[in-house]
Amino acid sequence: MNLVVDVGNTLVKMAVFDGTNLQYKKISIKKEFLAQLATIFENYPGIDRAIVASVSQLTEHQAAKLRQFCAVLELTSATPVPFVNEYATPLTLGVDRIALVAAAAKTYPGQNALVIDAGTCVTYDFLTEDARYKGGAISPGLQMRYKAMHSFTAQLPLLDAAVAEKTVGNSTATAIHSGAYNGLVYEIDGFIEAYKKQYSNLTVILTGGDAHFLRDRLKNDIFANSNFLLEGLNFILEHNKHTC
């Protein structure tokens, strides 16, 4: 069995896979990582390998404790992956994007795939049908758009993100919601249309923390998968199972 660990700035996502089947998922704050880790290995004693994304976000003590439980693969730009990486600056490519592209390569083989991760930033990553990663785009995420309008102006309030039902806002609040939310929806649809003009058999995958805000308003057909990054990390671990 495999343990997948995705470490963010404040949260840690952990998942247990039996082969390619997700058995368990847990999101916790970093200070609770070791307690959650002990519980996972108590409940799933068959775990013999783990993969960690953003291991630098763990303390040395946390990383050492994890290695006491099982063999650990740290995902880096040098880790073997199931696609050809043609990114011009591979050392700067985030491990989260590497994992998402790996998930596309394994889940949609022989298809052109555009993976859209709607998180702190929105990332667009494109994989060709012959499994060549070309790159993509990075833009401000939904929460960042709200915060930027508040931080860089004198009077605009900081609002919680909300679905904008109308294009025309008739108050400052509804105008902000329309600009932030609808602007992002139109951006995503625009990127999808641009890729479709070049690649006819395009599969689009939407994931990330704000995917639930966006998926029902996009006019293009998409596959929404909140576990896509975790699945990608597991695929990479499986791809390296003879070396880990």
Enzyme catalytic residues = 96
Rounded Cα–Cα distance for residues 90 and 87 (Å): 5
Contacting residues for 110 by C-beta, under 8 A, at least 6 apart: 129
Rounded Cα–Cα distance for residues 238 and 244 (Å): 9
Contacting residues for 142 by C-beta, under 8 A, at least 6 apart: 118, 122, 161, 180, 181, 184, 210, 213, 214
How many Cβ atoms are within 10 Å of 76's Cβ, its own excluded?
12
Is there a contact between 93 and 77 (Cβ–Cβ < 8 Å)?
yes
Nearest Cα residue to 29 out of 64, 62, 68, 69:
62
Burial 83-92, CB ≥16 within 10 A → b, else e: beeebeeeee
Nearest Cα residue to 119 out of 98, 148, 96:
96
Q: Which amino acid is at 171?
A: S
Calculate the CA dihedral of residues 137, 226, 16, 9 and round it to 10 degrees: 60
Rounded Cα–Cα distance for residues 122 and 214 (Å): 12
